Structures are given as C-alpha cells and as structure tokens.
Chains A and B, each alone.
Chain A
Amino acid sequence: GENVEQHPSTLSVQEGDSAVIKCTYSDSASNYFPWYKQELGKRPQLIIDIRSNVGEKKDQRIAVTLNKTAKHFSLHITETQPEDSAVYFCAASYGQNFVFGPGTRLSVLP
C-alpha cells in the first residue's frame, strides 16, 4: 500500500523567513497531493493541493512542488508569520482514499 513520509517532524523559523516541508510517497499511481494545516485543538483544513499533471502550484505565500519521478512533493511557505504556527500534514491519494504523513509542527518565532 501507500506509505507517506514527512520531514522534518518539527521546524522552527524566525518570522519573515521561509519554511519548507518535504514528503515522499511510495505508490506511483497516486495522483493527488493535498496539504492540510491543523491549529491546536482544531480541524485539519486544506491549504493547497496539487495534481499529478502539474509540477508546481502557488497561492500567495504558499507553494507546492511535485516531482513524480522521484515521488516527492514539498510545501513552501514564504514570509512566515506567527499565525502560520501549526501542524502541517501532507497526504497522497491511494485508490479512493488518502494516506497522511505524520505531520510537521511549525513554530514561527516573533
């Protein structure tokens, strides 16, 4: 089955710096890769997603890149702000389902 790994598990950056979170997946049939942000005590919320027919997608300060050959995808957050502090989960489609990575706890220090 699909296996999704995510690194780093924790990440601290200074406000205004960039943050990068990387994920790898194992099933070459996966074709949809969403990223979710979960603030403490709240629900996971989709922040950006990418499908296998594109290599990059950007939405304001957030971008995602996908390398299908290497089976990895990354989340890039630029100009980080304290409100970006949360746990971020990547996921990869697997048949009719999703497999989530273990999460990255991002702390943006003021």
Chain B
Amino acid sequence: NAGVMQNPRHLVRRRGQEARLRCSPMKGHSHVYWYRQLPEEGLKFMVYLQKENIIDESGMPKERFSAEFPKEGPSILRIQQVVRGDSAAYFCASSTTGEGNTEAFFGQGTRLTVV
C-alpha cells in the first residue's frame, strides 16, 4: 500500500495562474480531506469529499478555490488566479469512513509558492 500520494510535491506559479493539486487516497479509502498549512501554523480544514460528492466545504474560500473527487482518478484541489497569499502547504488525508472517528492518513503535501 503506497499510502496517500500527493503531487506535485512542489509547485511554483505566477500570480494569476492556475494551480492544480492532486491527491490519490490510500487503497480502499473513499473519503478525502484537504487542509492548508501556513508556515509555523496549524492545519486549517478546507473541504471533505467522498467519491463524486462534496460533503463539507465550509473551509473553502468562496472564490477561486474548488475541489472534486471523481469516480475515477485522484481528488483535485484547484486554485484559480493564484495570489501570493495562496502560498502554503496543502495536505490531503484519506480515511476508510467519513464518520470522523477513524484514522486519517496524510499525504506528503504540496508546497505551493506563488511568485
């Protein structure tokens, strides 16, 4: 089991470009969470998805950010028209159930730098 895979590990974008972050959950996991972590800060919840469904997006900024988890393929976090403030580490985690009482495994993260 390869664990939760995120790519790319590092992503540099110019202001105004789009960033696409990918997350492949662990085998057998159908629940994915995305978190943002600024330097020296904690993990801020962004969105929780199941296959083909967004369950909770209460942490997502209203504009420019979107997420999906299609029936086939990885979960995608998409940031349009990036700004300097979007620079952060973005982690996804996956679990077998979405009941909030089972272990969530984290990927290595994608470090986004906006220049």
Measured CB to CB, the residues of A under 8 A from B are 31-32, 34, 36, 42-46, 49, 51, 89, 93-103
Contact = CB atoms under 8 A, between A and B. Distances in A.
Interface in B10-36: 31, 33, 35
B105 A97 contact: no
B103 A96 contact: no
B104 A43 contact: no
B81 interface: no
Nearest to A44: B106
6 contacts: A32-B102, A34-B103, A93-B99, A93-B101, A100-B42, A100-B43
B97 to A, nearest CB: 8
Contacts of A42: 108
A43 B107 contact: yes
Nearest to A101: B42
B91 A44 contact: yes
B99 A43 contact: no
Contacts, number: 56
B43 A89 contact: yes
A58 to B, nearest CB: 18
B108 A32 contact: no
Nearest to A30: B100
Interface in B39-55: 41-43, 45, 48, 55
B108 A103 contact: no
Contacts of B108: 42-43
A96 B100 contact: yes
Contact of A44 (B43, B48, B99): B43
A103 B44 CA distance: 11
A53 B98 CA distance: 19
A46 B42 contact: no
A98 to B, nearest CB: 6
A102 B37 CA distance: 10
A89 B45 CA distance: 13
Which interface residue of B43, B91, B103, B105 has the most chain A CB atoms within 10 A? Answer: B43
A43 B101 CA distance: 20
Which interface residue of B33, B100, B102, B106 has the most chain A CB atoms within 10 A? Answer: B100
